[in-house]
DNA sequence: AGAAATGATGCGGGATCACGCAAGACGAAC
DNA sequence: GTTCGTCTTGCGTGATCCCGCATCATTTCT
């Protein structure tokens, strides 16, 4: 068995290397990449079937890399190893995992024991392993209770990118009014409203405020926004 | 000499410990804290004069912690050790460092050699050491060439938090029109404008777009926004 | 099948925003 | 002292946003 490590931080990389050696004696070769681009290339060259992937890397993040890898060979098993359980990351991963693929999501704060267990579960048993904390996040994403559903999430991204209602309507093939409807759903879900109804001074610009609270609730984050921006500029060009 | 490490990742913490041992034989005691709260407390209890501080930690970030520590004893020497050189962080640090205090800013990606050198320079020689990359960022912040100055930065924060023009005016003691003036300066600096002047469809909501590009340029980030939000809610209560 | 829920769309109005124009305030340069 | 540049503020306008009210269409429940 060969394993490919894609991880920025040399410290974490060597920690992973040791964990793999300890937990997977059947692994006889470890390859390492220190960013997403190299990771993709090595995965292709070595036809890697077992990958451990960091999510936030400077040059190319783990979600992008995983997507292209899975596009080429959907049965690749990938263990995501991340510092955070931001909803934005969880959504990002959930969006790209192919049907039936084995993958895992373990936090860097997990104990060594848990990491080793996850390694065996995924790479030997082909089971999906998802950290408890991440799991909680996932439930919240899917169930709508207090969570933001896909439609609302989509429009959240659009306003976070700074689009006007009209542009969103064009992009999503909706009428102007529908866009505004969805915006109101979103505002409600995020608990955003013009405070101090007493006077006439709405303190918050709802649109901007919604983005702010989404950001603070980690519904969106830097990497997610960057990805969305890339999609947007693509759309802008063809339109 | 005693040194206090404030860092949430155990891996990085032990790496630091070894680096300190290797570079500073005159250090006879190392204390460790795994978040900002504990860090503040330990700094107080041990009257720490030499601290190595991570910037992004979950429970309380390094800037907050450093601020309260410096408030109590401004001659404390603090080496910030961070993954990123986001302008938001650099600004955050610059804002709180007391006059004449010795401090440093070293990236985690720096070589071990560089870290050790910085350790000696700061803790022995009381010099300020700032990573080259960070330095570049700092210049850009201060010089206004293409960079955003303090006034623009301030209003950027305000719209990122989701305030209305009126609320900003109240908070900053300005007229409505002045706020809008500053907004326009900001838009210009960020290169934000209604694309496609041909038709009449402004694709971007300038206010939201400005926040988006600022975010993508790392003028603002999660920690910074959270800090500002805390200040904001304080102001909202007393007003 | 009929009823109820959900979502898309149109109309309209009040509030906010973006921004040109212009007048006064203040300090720096000459 | 005059002139210039920068900053603040007011007024006004057109575009955009927020959102209540109302009409269909599609789904879902009974």
Write out pLDDT tens, residues A77-96.
999 999 888 888 888 888 88
Rounded CA–C1' distance between A55 and D16, in angstroms: 38
Bridge partners for A78 per DSSP: A51, A103
Angle, helices B176-190/B165-172, rounded to nearest 10 degrees: 110
Cβ–Cβ contacts within 10 Å for residue A81, how many? 26
* d(C-alpha B97, C-alpha A239), whole Å: 49
Q: B79 is written with which tokens? A: 């080496």
A131 and A216 housed in the same domain: no
- Residue B136 clears pLDDT 80, i.e. is over it: no
List residues of chain B with CB under 8 Å from any CB of chain A: 9, 11-12, 15, 83, 108, 159-164, 166-167, 170, 192, 195, 201-213, 215-216, 218, 221-222, 225-226, 229, 236
Q: Using the CA of B180, give the nucleotide whose C1' is nearest.
A: C18
Question: Under 8 Å CB-to-CB from B150, ≥6 apart: which residues?
Answer: none
What are the start-end ranges of the H helices in chain A? 10-23, 36-46, 62-72, 87-96, 112-123, 132-142, 150-160, 165-172, 176-190, 206-216, 222-237
Per-residue pLDDT, A42: 93
Q: What are the strands of the beta sheet with A103-107, ordered from one edge?
A: A29-33, A2-6, A50-54, A77-82, A103-107, A129-130
The whole-angstrom distance between B74's CA and the closest CA on chain A is: 31
CATH code, B155? 1.10.10.10
Closest residue (CA to C1') to nucleotide D7 in the complex? B178
Q: Is A89 exposed, middle or buried (0-12, 13-18, 19+ CB in 10 A)?
A: buried
Residue B212 is nearest to which of A12, A161, A216, comparing CB atoms?
Answer: A161
Of A142, A175, A195, which closes a domain?
A142
Write out pLDDT tens, residues B142-195.
544 467 788 889 999 999 999 999 999 999 999 999 999 999 999 988 888 776
Residue-number span of the structural domain to which B67 is assigned: 2-142
CA B126 to chain centroid, in Å, comes to 21
Write out pLDDT tens, residues B59-96.
888 999 999 999 999 889 999 999 888 888 888 888 88
Of B124, B142, B160, which closes a domain?
B142
What does DSSP assign to residue B195?
A: S
Q: With contact defined as beta carbons under 8 Å apart, do B124 and B27 qualify?
A: no
Interchain pair B225, A215: CB under 8 A: yes
CATH code, B100? 3.40.50.2300
Write out pLDDT tens, residues A14-51.
999 999 999 999 998 999 999 999 999 999 999 999 99
Q: Is B146 left (phi over 0), alpha (psi -120 to 50) or beta?
A: left
Interchain pair A212, B161: CB under 8 A: yes
A233 and A159 housed in the same domain: yes
Interchain pair B229, A212: CB under 8 A: yes
Of B142, B176, B205, which closes a domain?
B142
Per-residue pLDDT, A197: 46
């Amino acid at each position: 068995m060969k394993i490919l490590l894609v991880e920025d931080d040399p410290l974490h990389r060597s920690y992973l290397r040791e964990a793999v050696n300890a937990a997977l004696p059947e692994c006889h070769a470890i390859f390492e990449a220190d960013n997403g681009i190299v990771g993709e290339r090595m995965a292709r060259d070595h036809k890697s079937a077992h990958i451990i992937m960091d999510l936030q890397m400077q040059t190319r993040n783990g979600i992008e890399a995983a997507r292209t890898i899975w596009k080429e060979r959907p049965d690749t098993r990938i263990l995501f190893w991340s510092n955070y359980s931001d909803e934005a990351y969880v959504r990002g991963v959930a969006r790209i995992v192919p049907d039936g693929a084995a993958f895992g999501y373990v936090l860097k704060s997990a104990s060594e024991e848990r990491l080793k267990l996850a390694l065996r579960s995924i790479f030997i048993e082909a089971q999906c392993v998802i950290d408890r904390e991440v799991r909680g996040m996932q439930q919240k994403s899917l169930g709508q209770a207090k969570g933001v559903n896909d439609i609302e999430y989509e429009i959240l991204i659009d306003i976070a990118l700074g689009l006007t209602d009209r542009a969103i309507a064009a992009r999503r093939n909706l009428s102007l009014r529908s866009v505004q409807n969805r915006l109101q759903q979103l505002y409600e879900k995020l608990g955003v409203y013009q405070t101090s109804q007493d006077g006439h001074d709405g303190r918050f610009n709802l649109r901007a405020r919604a983005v702010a609270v989404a950001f603070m609730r980690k519904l969106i984050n830097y990497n997610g926004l960057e990805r969305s921006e890339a999609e947007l500029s693509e759309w802008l060009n063809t339109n």
